[in-house]
C-alpha cells in the first residue's frame, strides 16, 4: 500500500523518534511509505483557537502536500481529528475533500485497515498505563468513552497492545479524564491545565505505571513536562515506538 506519512509539527520538532518508529513500523507491515518533506502542520493550533483565517494557509498547504496519495497516515489522533472533521478554513475542493477522507490515524490504520494481529519483532517488559487522548476516545473511537457505560466495552489500543510481548497494562481511576493539554489552552489556562496534568500523572503513578503510552504525543509533551518537574520515575512513550520495538 502506498502511504503518505504525516508527521505532525511538534513530533517533527520535539519527538523525531516517534516519526522514525511510525515510518519503520509501516514499512515492516509492508507499506510503501513516502514522507513529503515540505509538510508543516494541519492547521489545528490556529483553528482550535477560533482563528479560521490564520488556519487557512496551513490547511491549504497540508492538502497540497498530500493530495496525490491513496492513504495518509499520521501518528496523532488529535491532528487526524482536525483533518477529518474540522479542516474547513479553506474551500472544500475535490482535493480537500479527498485528503480529509483518506487521512488515517495510526491506531485505526493498524487495527481497522491492516488488521494487524502480531508485532513479532516487539517486546516491551514494562507496566504501561494507557493515555487515550480525548480525540482518540471521543472523536475517532479508539475506545468506548467512559461516559457511554451502557455500551459494551472495546479498546482498539488494548487489542493491539495484546500483540506485544511483555506489556503489562495497568488500570487507573479515571481512564479517560482529559490530561489538560488542549492546545493553546495549556498556556492560556495555565493553572487549570497544569492541575489537570498533575492529577493525570499522579493517577498513573499511584497505580505503578512505568510508562504512560499514548497515540498522541501532544498530550505526552505536556505530561512529560509534569513528570520531569515532579521528578517521578515514569516515562512517556508513543504507541508507535512500542509496536515498532523502538527507537526510544
Q: Which of residues 53-112 bind another protein (CB under 8 A)?
A: 53-58, 60-61, 86
Q: Is the peptide bond before 154 cis (omega within 30 degrees of 0)?
A: no
182 binds another protein (CB under 8 A): yes
CB under 8 A, 24+ apart: contacts of 221-227: 221/10, 221/14, 221/15, 221/181, 222/179, 222/180, 222/181, 222/186, 222/193, 222/197, 223/131, 223/179, 223/181, 223/197, 225/197, 226/194, 226/197, 226/198, 226/200, 226/201, 227/201
Q: Is position 121 an interface residue for another protein (rule: CB under 8 A)?
A: no
Interacting residue with another protein among 72, 180, 204, 238 (CB under 8 A): 180
Of the candidate residues 38, 94, 171, 233, the single one contacting another protein (CB under 8 A): 38
Which lies closer to another protein via its Cβ, residue 167 or residue 245?
245
Phi, psi at 156, each rounded to 5°: -65, -35
DSSP E strands in 102-203: the ranges are 103-105, 127-130, 168-170
> Are the C-beta atoms of residues 76 and 62 closer than 8 Å to each other?
no
Part in contact with another protein (CB under 8 A); list of ranges 124-132, 163-171, 184-192, 205-213: 184-192
* 150 touches another protein by CB under 8 A: yes
Pick 61 or 127: Cβ nearer another protein: 61
> Which 5-34 positions form the footprint of another protein (CB under 8 A)?
7, 9, 11-20, 23
Q: How far is the CB of 162 from another protein (least distance, A)?
A: 25
Out of 71, 127, 177, 246, point to the residue binding another protein (CB under 8 A): 177
Q: Residues 169, 155: contact at Cβ < 8 Å?
A: no
Least distance (Å) between residue 37 CB and another protein: 6
Binder among 3, 25, 46, 77 for another protein (CB under 8 A): 46
Amino acid at each position: 500500500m502506498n502511504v503518505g506519512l504525516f508527521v505532525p509539527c511538534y513530533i517533527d520538532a520535539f519527538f523525531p523518534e516517534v516519526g522514525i518508529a511510525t515510518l519503520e513500523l509501516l514499512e515492516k507491515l509492508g507499506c510503501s511509505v513516502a514522507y513529503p518533506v515540505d509538510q508543516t502542520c494541519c492547521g489545528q493550533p490556529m483553528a482550535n483557537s477560533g482563528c479560521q483565517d490564520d488556519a487557512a494557509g496551513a490547511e491549504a498547504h497540508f492538502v497540497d502536500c498530500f493530495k496525490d496519495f491513496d492513504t495518509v497516515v499520521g501518528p496523532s489522533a488529535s491532528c487526524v481529528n482536525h483533518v477529518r472533521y474540522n479542516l474547513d478554513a479553506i474551500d472544500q475542493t475535490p482535493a480537500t475533500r479527498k485528503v480529509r477522507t483518506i487521512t488515517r490515524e495510526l491506531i485505526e490504520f493498524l487495527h481497522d485497515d491492516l488488521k494487524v494481529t502480531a508485532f513479532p519483532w516487539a517486546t516491551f517488559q514494562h507496566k504501561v498505563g494507557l493515555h487515550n487522548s480525548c480525540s482518540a476516545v471521543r472523536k475517532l473511537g479508539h475506545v468506548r468513552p467512559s461516559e457511554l457505560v451502557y455500551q459494551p466495552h472495546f479498546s482498539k489500543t488494548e487489542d493491539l497492545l495484546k500483540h506485544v510481548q511483555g506489556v503489562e497494562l495497568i488500570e487507573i481511576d479515571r481512564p479517560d479524564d482529559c490530561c489538560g493539554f488542549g492546545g493553546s489552552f495549556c498556556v492560556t489556562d495555565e493553572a487549570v491545565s497544569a492541575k489537570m496534568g498533575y492529577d493525570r500523572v499522579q493517577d498513573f503513578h499511584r497505580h505503578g505505571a512505568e510508562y504512560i503510552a499514548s497515540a498522541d504525543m501532544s498530550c505526552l509533551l505536556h505530561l512529560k513536562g509534569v513528570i520531569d518537574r515532579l521528578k517521578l520515575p515514569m516515562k512517556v512513550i508513543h504507541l508507535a515506538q512500542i509496536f515498532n520495538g523502538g527507537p526510544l
